[in-house]
Chain A
Amino acid sequence: MVRKEMIAMLLAGGEGKRLGVLTKDLAKPAVYFGGKYRIIDFTLSNCVHSGIDTVGVLTQYQPLELNRYLGIGTPWGLDRRDGGMTILPPYMQKEGGVWYKGTANAIYQNISYIERYDPEYVLVISGDHIYKMDYDLMLQHHKKTGADLTIAGFEVEWKDASRFGLMHVDDDMMITGFEEKPKIPTSNLASMGVYIFNWKALKKYLIADEANAGSSNDFGKDLIPAMMNDGLKLCCYTFEGYWRDVGTIDSLWEGNMDLLEEKPSLDLNDPKWRIYSVNPNQPAQFIGQQAKVTSSLVSEGCFIEGEVHRSVLFYGVEIGEGSVVHEAVIMPRVKIGKNVKIYRAIIGDGAVIEDNAVIGAPDSTEIMVIPVGEHVFAQDQLMGVE
């Protein structure tokens, strides 16, 4: 086997409980985002553009749809002879099989996979975030500082800081402490959940962590604090650019709305950093005679006869005459009839909205969610309460 300098381990087992009905039959990384993508497309594309050609994808909850989607990694150029993408579900071993108990345990159970490539460094990422990042720049930084572990950090707004795992750093960007979602934050440098470990050190700590019966086998709670206590060199790499966790209904909706800005901070049109995804094979979109489409993203296979404003339409969506869709995220293959009104909503894929139905309200503070495949009739009158 060809030796790899760095391989990636992508944690894609997230249940995405906070996405409610959208993740009922779907792992969180497989949730749709941005008109044609799924969340995991961003991290996979980042890997490929950063020159990483070996990616282990760790799956656990609702893997069926995700596995089908990932296939052998062809859409991302990860169907390679040496390396490429490997899906790593929990498996039966001699001593019996276990679920991945925590993030660190998931990597622990796949030590033999990593060892096949004999890497110097291991990149640990999760398939839950939307961002474009060159991991190679982070690796160069990691080598330059000579750290044992480099954690990517992102400066968040102080008012949001308490939602994140926060890092304290000294003047040299060495990490001096951690706070997990504190009530009163004393730092606004959030961990992005992007780690580069020296493999030798990581392996040692994975084995030690596994032997510790009291551990919850989590990177943030157990393994990284243990490394810090032992005086290993932990360094922060500050990332500048767009980064967003889309783990809640509100943040998923907001993340999609971010793309509609005049000059969006996340540029999907950059030919040098294309976000790859599985091609749905649909004809180009048809905009009808009476249609009005403004400040929106519309994908292939859509057939629009109504009015669309500040919305993100995935592929194969149909919108009938007289219908109005404002500030909504419409997932693939949703059929919207005539004279329908949809405001501030997320419509799950394959849903059917019959003529004259009303979903959400223009000034609602709550984002209305229609579950995957739901059939909505006019008399349902959904006004922002589930």
Chain B
Amino acid sequence: MNNNKILGVVNLIHETDELDKLTQGRCTATVPFGSRYRLIDFTLSNMVNSGIHEVGVFAHKKYRSLMDHIGSGKSWDLQHRQSGLFVLPPITDDVQELSRGDLFHFYQNRDFFLRSKPEYVLIARSHMVCNIDYRKVLQYHLEQNADITVVCHQSSEPVLGKARKVRMNDDGRIVEIQDSYGRMISEYSNMEMYLMKKELLMDLVETSLAKGQDHLVRHAIFSKLDGLKVYGYVHNGFLAVVNTINSYYGNSMKLLQPEVWRTLFREPGPIYTKVKDGPPARYSNDAIVERSIIANGCVIEGEVRNSILFRGVHVHKGAVVEDSVIMQNGVILPKSVVKCAIFDKDVVIEENQQIKGVSSGPYLAGKRKVI
């Protein structure tokens, strides 16, 4: 068993964010996804399910909702005496330092790394939604005798959302990582998960900063592909890259495929989230629901098709919701029609309204909007 050998790092520093109104008051990590989760739930659950008991979350900006959501880490069983969850907000003397790269912030919080016991460190981000066992990544890492292992996803279809492409040679060694989302043609996308010895990370942090470089991927890894043995581990499960509105919408719709629903939330390990204690969803005698994901606490009296309803959504009699994502406590009053839309929390649609977007450009309503 490789239990307790890996230190988890959730890197929220400069996470790509083109989520428009969904990240107006929150960071990417706490964007609601999949009817009852937040993006970071997947990252944290994957770590915990892989036997990682010590996790540092490098918060960066707009982290009020992050603190609220993860609390003491109890929901992920990360609240224990010996280790657990550490939220590490930026340690900065002045505001300008906030914009510096992740290596700078790792350095500022180096005590976290130095005090922890595990030999290896796994760095992951929140916007790569998947269900993965990191113990297999470590096993591969050891088999390849790698310095750094990068988790990649293979797909011949274009990836929704923004992800770096990588090129590997026949041995699985990474020969090129695309910077800033260029035009490389490759089936492999970088899932932004890096496994290495903690010692190596600390070394990369110090040598890079000494040269005035402070970005983990661009400076510390990208430029050292010749010197370091960087291998790609291919993850074969479902991947949703959620960092643009179109990828948010497109990936949400993918959850409506039964095989995605059956695997993403459960295999190899269950995804945990903060508990809300809502009652079971209630369907009235007039309810018509087809091909949808419905959370507890919903009340459905109207029609819902091809949609994702978060907790506590109320679709009134005669209202129609199609191809949409309605977040927590949304209310659709009688005789309104909602099609191809994303509603943030607490959106209210008054009676007899027609809200229609298109699948390539869904209608987006910010938190607490009343239409």
Contacts and interface: CB of A to CB of B under 8 A. Distances in A.
Interface residues of A, number: 37
Interface of B is mostly: loop
Contacts of B282: 269, 296-297
A298 B280 CA distance: 5
Given A276-B277, A288-B258, A293 B293 contact: no
Contacts of A34: 279-280
B272 A298 contact: no
A365 interface: no
A299 B283 CA distance: 11
A298 B279 contact: no
A36 B289 contact: no
B285 A291 contact: no
A354 to B, nearest CB: 20
Given A279-B275, A313-B280, A289 B295 contact: no
A287 B290 contact: yes
Interface string B269-292: 011100101011111111111111
A286 B258 contact: yes
A290 B291 CA distance: 8
B299 A269 contact: yes
Contacts of A112: none
A221 to B, nearest CB: 37
A67 interface: no
A275 B265 contact: no
Give the residue among B34, B266, B279, B289 with the most A Cβ atoms within 10 A.
B279
Given A269-B299, A295-B285, A298-B283, A284 B277 contact: no
A294 to B, nearest CB: 5
Contacts, number: 104
Contacts of A300: 36, 280, 295-296
Contacts of B266: 283
Contact of B294 (A35, A75, A276, A298): A298
B291 A299 contact: no
B270 A284 contact: no
A36 B279 contact: yes
Contacts of A290: 290
B70 to A, nearest CB: 16
Contact of B290 (A262, A282, A291, A303): A291
B261 interface: yes
Contact of A269 (B258, B270, B271, B297): B297
B324 interface: no
Contact of A299 (B271, B277, B281): B281
A308 B284 CA distance: 11
Given A287-B290, A287-B291, A295 B299 contact: no
B43 interface: no
Contact of A297 (B36, B280, B286, B288): B280
Given A275-B279, A288-B258, A281 B293 contact: no
A284 B34 contact: yes
Given A293-B289, A298-B294, A283 B35 contact: yes
A268 interface: yes
A311 to B, nearest CB: 10
B313 to A, nearest CB: 11
Given A288-B291, A291-B290, A35 B280 contact: yes
Given A283-B265, A289-B291, A293-B289, A303 B283 contact: no
Interface of A: 34-36, 75, 262, 268-269, 274-277, 279, 281-300, 303, 308, 312-314
27 contacts: A35-B280, A36-B280, A36-B296, A268-B279, A269-B297, A269-B299, A275-B279, A279-B277, A283-B34, A284-B34, A284-B293, A284-B294, A285-B296, A286-B292, A286-B293, A287-B289, A287-B291, A287-B294, A291-B289, A293-B283, A294-B283, A294-B284, A294-B285, A294-B287, A295-B285, A297-B280, A313-B280
Given A269-B282, A314-B280, 6 more contacts: A75-B275, A277-B277, A279-B277, A293-B283, A297-B279, A312-B280
